[in-house]
Chains A and B, each alone.
Chain A
């Protein structure tokens, strides 16, 4: 199993090899395509720049996605539970979720100026729709007998929400969270290229202006690595929270 997992590194190793060969063959001048070793040096020489910007990006995503979670999950539980709310919100959700957050950057700048606020607002929007839609979907998927059990036991609406609807929707909520974190991460990098003066997006755009291609590539590597780690983290939390699901689903998610 451990060995199998290591197979996931194979494509990355091949990419690294191709990169080194391209440098050796001088496909591009070194100022455009630095060797892997030089990019590695960035993490030693400029670690504070990389770390500082990475933390700025991560905290924006953390705040934006947390806000989206607190907003979308309760709302989704209600929409999923109450037919009338669903009818009311269905069209709006379909319209707003079709708008890429990037398209809202100009408006975010006009209303919120330059800084953390527009970036966080965009991440919030990027995370809200997948969370909302998956939460609704999760509530819909609940077995009808379970609601009958609750009704027959004369359970209060609050208990039904807390002990039945929420846990039933949790696996779907986590699917939404994975999508939200992924979307939030894509959005933060883009937003930082335009709306803020810090973060990994800002760092790589700035590196282009100063011809630091090594810093650009280092930035891209960090963006990808954090994306992977964030996804793994959500999966681990999900596996823990939804451990009652083990052995219920056909394949481990």
Chain B
């Protein structure tokens, strides 16, 4: 597998009101194309900040981020991001929302429509293309967000606690769907979560973050066979190890 994403000595310091706040320090890691990597840690440990920087939405104050051999300077065309609060445009129908990233790239209307329809189908949203976001459930809204991210066929899918606001059942269902999509598309996935179970169900590899300043405390390889459940052999032992590393209960926060 080839090296796809590289963070070299990445740090982030916010100006802050009274004194500068160091959100991240010395983040070094590389990740191969096709990896499913979870960034795990309690809130405030900088894992979301790192994702925003990989997405090109924020600039690191030190170090550099390299995607597909190119140093990042603003959002990369190779990556697409999914936000926890969906980021759906309330005045656009599902169809128009899914088409947006393609529209931003100047894809022609007919092609946009066809591609959007394809991903609407893939994310089980068929029949809802003409609905507005507020008419959908939380899980469906997040499916729209995922469909929109996939339309440009990104090499990297960046997911910022995408299922954090969903109930357990919907969450489990969407986790399965994301795994299916990942297996089908073979994209690299960077997935921010504060749930140990979620990380263990999804990831090939888990980067555990510790807070103040945020840094990588451990880099855990997850070799459990797929499909996994929380009853899979080895799951419980790994969960215990991770719990020790993040220093909290199963659901941190």
Please determine whether chains A and B interact with each other in the same assembly.
Answer: yes
A residues bordering B, Cβ < 8 Å?
143, 145-146, 148-156, 159, 163-164, 167-168, 170, 242, 244-245, 247-248
Specify which of A151, A153, A170, A244 lies most central, judged by the most chain B CB atoms within 10 Å of its CB: A153
Q: How far is the CA of A244 from the CA of B136 in the complex (A)?
A: 13
B104, A150: Cβ atoms under 8 Å? yes
Count residues of B near A (Cβ-Cβ below 8 Å): 26
Closest chain B residue to A150 by CB distance?
Answer: B104
Q: How far is the CA of A156 from the CA of B135 in the complex (A)?
A: 29
Closest chain B residue to A156 by CB distance?
Answer: B104
B87, A159: Cβ atoms under 8 Å? no
**CB-defined A-B contacts under 8 Å, sample of 15:** A145-B85, A145-B87, A148-B57, A149-B100, A152-B56, A152-B79, A153-B75, A153-B101, A153-B105, A154-B77, A163-B92, A163-B100, A244-B91, A245-B90, A248-B134
A151, B83: Cβ atoms under 8 Å? no
The A contact surface, by secondary structure, is helix
B residues bordering A, Cβ < 8 Å?
55-57, 74-75, 77, 79-81, 83, 85-87, 89-92, 100-101, 103-105, 132, 134-135, 152
B87, A153: Cβ atoms under 8 Å? no
B134, A159: Cβ atoms under 8 Å? no
B81, A152: Cβ atoms under 8 Å? yes
Closest chain A residue to B100 by CB distance?
Answer: A153
A244 contact set on B, CB distance < 8 A:
90-92, 132, 134
Q: How far is the CA of A189 from the CA of B135 in the complex (A)?
A: 45
Q: How far is the CA of A156 from the CA of B83 in the complex (A)?
A: 20
How many Å from the CB of A159 to the closest CB on chain B? 6
Q: How far is the CA of A117 from the CA of B105 in the complex (A)?
A: 46
Q: In the complex, which of the residues A150, A153, A155, A168 contacts B91, with contact meaning CB atoms closer than 8 Å?
A: A168
A143 contact set on B, CB distance < 8 A:
85, 87
Besides the contacts A163-B89, A163-B103, what 10 more A-B pairs have beta carbons closer than 8 Å?
A143-B85, A150-B104, A151-B75, A152-B75, A153-B80, A153-B101, A153-B104, A154-B105, A164-B89, A244-B134
Closest chain A residue to B81 by CB distance?
Answer: A152
B89, A148: Cβ atoms under 8 Å? no
Q: How far is the CA of A149 from the CA of B104 in the complex (A)?
A: 10
